[in-house]
Amino acid sequence: MSTPLASWHPQAAQRLQQFVSAVTDPSHSAYVEPSDRIATFDNDGTLWCEKPLYIQLAFVVERVKALAAEHPQWPHEEPFSAVLSGDLKRLQQLRMPEDVLTLVAATHAGMTQAEFQADVVTFFDHARHPRWQRPYTALVYQPMVELVQFLQQHQFTVYLCSAGGLDFMRVISARAYGIPPEHVVGSSIQKKYRPDGTFERTAELVKPINDQAGKPVLIERHIGKRPILAGGNSDGDIAMLDYVTQRSGASLALLLHHDDAEREYAYDAGAEAALTLAKERPWQVVSMRSDFLTIFPE
C-alpha cells in the first residue's frame, strides 16, 4: 500500500493528515459530513506549472499566429500584438485571465464546442514545455495531485477552480488530476445552442470571470456550498481563501509559495498581497522548496 502524501515533507504531510483526520472523525468536534467536505483548488501555479507562460496562453498563441493573415489589424491591437511579436516579456505581461480569454474568444468564436475540445486534445498530445521539453500534463505538481487523491479517498468532493477557461480545463482535468469535468469551475464564454444538437462558441465572456472576488461568486453559482478547504498561489486567490476560512467550523487554506528556482521557478510577482496577508490570516503557506520532496512526477 502506497504512503499517502509521499511527496510531501513529513511535517507538512502530518499537518494535512491531522486536518483530514479531524473533519472525518465523527467523534471529533471538527467533524464535517461527507456531503459538505468540499475542496477547491486554483489551477495555474497551484496544481501545475504556470511559467514561462500560462499553459492556456501557450495553447492560444499558435492559433493567433495561424489566423493572423485574416486579421491585418491584429499586429496593431493588444493583446494580439503581444502574441505576434514573439516577445516573451510582452507575453508574460498579458493579464490572466482577461487577455487570455479575449484571445481564446476571438480565435475560437464560431467553432463548435466539439471542434474546440478536439483542438485542446491535439495541443496536449503534441505540445512540450520549452524548458523541460516534457508534455504539459507531466508538469503537474506531484504533491498537490497526491493531496487531491488523498482528499477524494476521504470522501471530499474536489473542484478545480481556475481563472482560466472552463472548457479548456474540462478537457484535461480528469487526465491531469483525476478531477471529473463536471467538477471544474472556471471562466467561460457564451455559447449558442444549434438545432443540430451542437453548441457554437461566441466571442462574449460570461461575467464575472473566475478570478479574485469572482471566485466565491462562481463557487456559489456552480457548487452551492462553501468549501472547507482551498488551495491557491496568487493574489487572485485571496477572496477564495478568505471565503473558506470565514466559515464557521474547521477550515484549511493553503497558499503555495514558488520559492524553488532550481526545481521549478522562484517568484513572488502576482502573489505579493497574498503572501503579506498570509502573515495575519489563518492560512498555511506551502513552500515548494521546503515542503515538496519532489515537484513533478517522475
CA pair distance 23, 244, nearest whole angstrom = 14
Half-sphere exposure of 221 (CA within 13 A, CB side): 16
Question: Which residue pairs from 90-96 have beta carbons closer than 8 angstroms and sit at least 24 positions apart in sequence?
Answer: 91/53, 91/57, 91/61, 92/52, 92/53, 94/57, 96/44, 96/54, 96/57, 96/163, 96/164, 96/211, 96/236
Q: Is the pLDDT of residue 2 over 80?
A: no
Residue 85 lies in a domain: yes
Q: Are residues 115 and 188 in the same domain?
A: no
CA pair distance 199, 42, nearest whole angstrom = 27
Mean pLDDT, residues 156-172 taken together:
96
Whole domain around residue 243: which residue ranges? 10-51+139-194+204-291
**Residue 196 identity (one-letter amino acid):** D
Residue 134 lies in a domain: no
The pLDDT assigned to 98 comes to 83
Mean pLDDT, residues 159-164 taken together:
96
The pLDDT assigned to 99 comes to 87
Residue 15 lies in a domain: yes
Q: Are residues 178 and 252 in the same domain?
A: yes
Residue 167 lies in a domain: yes
Tell which of 98, 126, 154 closes a domain.
126
Average pLDDT along the chain? 95
Q: Are residues 88 and 59 in the same domain?
A: yes
CATH, residue 241: 3.40.50.1000
The pLDDT assigned to 34 comes to 98
Q: Is the pLDDT of residue 176 over 60?
A: yes
CA pair distance 264, 259, nearest whole angstrom = 8
Instruction: State how many domains the chain has.
Output: 2
Q: Are residues 187 and 278 in the same domain?
A: yes
Residue 176 lies in a domain: yes
Q: Are residues 99 and 25 in the same domain?
A: no
Residue 94: pLDDT band (50, 70, 90) is confident
Q: Are residues 176 and 108 in the same domain?
A: no
The pLDDT assigned to 56 comes to 92
- Class of residue 205 by CB neighbours under 10 A (exposed 0-12, middle 13-18, buried 19+): middle
The pLDDT assigned to 3 comes to 78
Residue 199 lies in a domain: no
Residue 241 lies in a domain: yes
Residue 87: pLDDT band (50, 70, 90) is confident
Q: Are residues 21 and 96 in the same domain?
A: no
**pLDDT 10s digits, 249-298:** 999 999 999 999 999 999 999 999 999 999 999 999 999 999 999 999 98
Q: Is the pLDDT of residue 96 over 80?
A: no
Mean pLDDT, residues 162-170 taken together:
95
**Residue 268 identity (one-letter amino acid):** D
Q: Is the pLDDT of residue 149 over 80?
A: yes
**pLDDT 10s digits, 23-46:** 999 999 999 999 999 999 999 999
Residue 220: pLDDT band (50, 70, 90) is very high
Tell which of 72, 94, 126 closes a domain.
126
Tell which of 70, 96, 126 closes a domain.
126
Residue 117: pLDDT band (50, 70, 90) is very high
Q: Are residues 28 and 173 in the same domain?
A: yes
End-to-end alpha carbon distance in the chain: 19
Q: Are residues 248 and 189 in the same domain?
A: yes
Q: Are residues 208 and 261 in the same domain?
A: yes
**Residue 151 identity (one-letter amino acid):** L
Residue 32 lies in a domain: yes
Residue 95: pLDDT band (50, 70, 90) is confident
Residue 104: pLDDT band (50, 70, 90) is confident
Q: Are residues 45 and 165 in the same domain?
A: yes
The pLDDT assigned to 102 comes to 86
Q: Are residues 276 and 145 in the same domain?
A: yes
Residue 105: pLDDT band (50, 70, 90) is confident
